[in-house]
Amino acid sequence: MNQRPYNFSAGPATIPVEVLEQAAADMLNWQGSGMGVMEMSHRGKEFISIYEQAEADFRELLAIPMDFEILFMQGGGLGQNAIVPLNLSRGGTVDFVVTGSWSQKSCHEAEKYAAEVNLAASGESSDFTTVPDPASWQLSRGASYLHLCSNETIHGVEFQKLPDLKALGSDAPLVIDFSSHVASRTVDWSRVGLAFAGAQKNLGPAGLTVAVVREDLLGQALLACPSAFNYQIVADHQSMYNTPPTWGIYIAGLTFDWLKRQREGDLTGIAAIEQRNITKAQLLYDTIDQSQFYVNKVAPHYRSRMNIPFFLRDESRNDAFLAGAKERGLLQLKGHKSVGGMRASLYNAMPLEGVQALVAYLQEFERQSA
């Protein structure tokens, strides 16, 4: 295949070429079955084998303990914004830490379902360029859970470490929206009660949503919770209470297989991809920080490895920058409309060569503009 352009989209986003090629090869006839994966019954032995392998690989890659259920659902991250309070709020108070657009959206949605929503902390006064010190969070007593977004896709703010709520004096389970950095790094499951992610950033196509739920949080849904979104019911049916997003699960499975094959020195799997993600992000942040022409405003300790918003100091050059990028095969760099500027998303499937090409272009454009 000819060299493909580098796609910096925030999502749906770039997918490893090997995964796309395998999917294309399997399209009409998966492993001699005479059927493509989209045409299979979700209850047939062919698809069940795809599903079981995908689930086992995801558990292995992210070292998910056995007391967590892995649920393959539909409805996206925004669906989970309602599904989580429907399942976990128990008619009580829920705590929110708002660090950008996504957690803000989650917070507003929860207000429809939870008896009370407590804004424990917000980064809004910093224009979401940093996270309030966890020691300052106003946690409520007996909260049903605390929600945060562990990587803010739009503002480029990432928790490098999940908070230890117990140490902060709260017994609430931690709920994380990890949509845009799932499988980019290891997860400390001892600090997590529930994690959810839409697949379209780092796992595969839109339409699949993964929820990882600690078992003791099942079985507490409000009566109004739709059965298809009741974690207990979904878990009891191995994600097949209703037809699961079969194509998404299949592509995610190919992506997990690709992840398992990754190597960086002695590292494999998630450890390898995490190392590569650190290298990629560092290269771009260093280039931005060393220039007088570009700027990233996020506090260094909270800078996202996955989504890097940046600005040209001379914003009148934005259109020329994007046009030149496109000419060089560097696609979808325009920032989110709520923030402006540029954004480069460096998900797992973005190779180091893509970031090197972007950095070379940043330097070239700066020289040209001098």
Ligand X SMILES: *Cc1c(COP(=O)(O)O)cnc(C)c1O
- Residue 213 binding ligand X, by CB under 6 A: no
Question: Which position among 30, 201, 258, 280 bears the catalytic label?
Answer: 201
Q: Which is nearer to ligand X, 16 or 76 (CB)?
A: 76
Residues between 121 and 150 that touch ligand X (CB under 6 A): 149
CB of 236 to ligand X, least distance (A): 25
Give the Cβ contact number of residue 60 at 10 Å: 14
Quick one: which H or E segment has residue 312?
strand 307-312
* CA distances in angstroms from 122 to 125, 134, 146, 246, listed in the order given: 7, 11, 13, 38
| Token pair recorded at residue 74 | 């539909």
CB of 298 to ligand X, least distance (A): 15
Find the part of the chain contacting ligand X (CB under 6 A) among 72-80, 162-170, 339-347, 362-370.
72-80
The contact pattern for ligand X, residues 173-202, with x = CB under 6 A and - = no contact, is ----x-xx-----------------x--x-
- Residue 57 binding ligand X, by CB under 6 A: no
Q: Does the annotation count 216 as an active-site position?
A: no
Of the residues 13, 51, 77, 341, which one makes contact with ligand X according to CB under 6 A: 77
- Residue 251 binding ligand X, by CB under 6 A: no
C-alpha to C-alpha distance for 24 and 54, rounded to whole angstroms: 18
Question: Which position among 30, 95, 177, 280 bears the catalytic label?
Answer: 177
Residue 227: alpha-carbon gap to chain centroid: 25
Q: Which is nearer to ligand X, 290 or 338 (CB)?
A: 338
Q: Are 13 and 365 in contact (CB under 8 A)?
A: no
- Residue 348 binding ligand X, by CB under 6 A: no
CB of 187 to ligand X, least distance (A): 15
The contact pattern for ligand X, residues 5-34, with x = CB under 6 A and - = no contact, is ------x-----------------------
Q: 82 Cβ partners below 8 Å, 6+ apart?
A: 109, 112, 113, 229
Among residues 345, 305, 354, 348, which one has the least CA distance to residue 11? 345
Q: Are 335 and 309 in contact (CB under 8 A)?
A: yes
- Dihedral angle computed from the Cα positions of residues 366, 293, 300 and 334, in that order, rounded to the nearest 10 degrees: -70
CB of 139 to ligand X, least distance (A): 22
C-alpha to C-alpha distance for 124 and 130, rounded to whole angstroms: 9
Residues between 81 and 110 that touch ligand X (CB under 6 A): 102
Phi and psi, residue 58, nearest 5°: -65, -45
Q: Which is nearer to ligand X, 89 or 153 (CB)?
A: 153
Q: How many residues does the structure list for the chain?
A: 370
Strand pairing class (209-214; 68-73): antiparallel
- Residue 248 binding ligand X, by CB under 6 A: no
CB of 11 to ligand X, least distance (A): 5
Residue type, 88: L
Q: Are 245 and 112 in contact (CB under 8 A)?
A: no
Q: Does the annotation count 45 as an active-site position?
A: no
Question: Which position among 102, 137, 258, 334 bears the catalytic label?
Answer: 102
- Residue 335 binding ligand X, by CB under 6 A: no
The contact pattern for ligand X, residues 258-287, with x = CB under 6 A and - = no contact, is ------------------------------
Size of the site for ligand X (CB under 6 A): 12
Phi and psi, residue 340, nearest 5°: 80, -170
Binding site for ligand X (CB under 6 A): 11, 76-78, 102, 149, 153, 177, 179-180, 198, 201
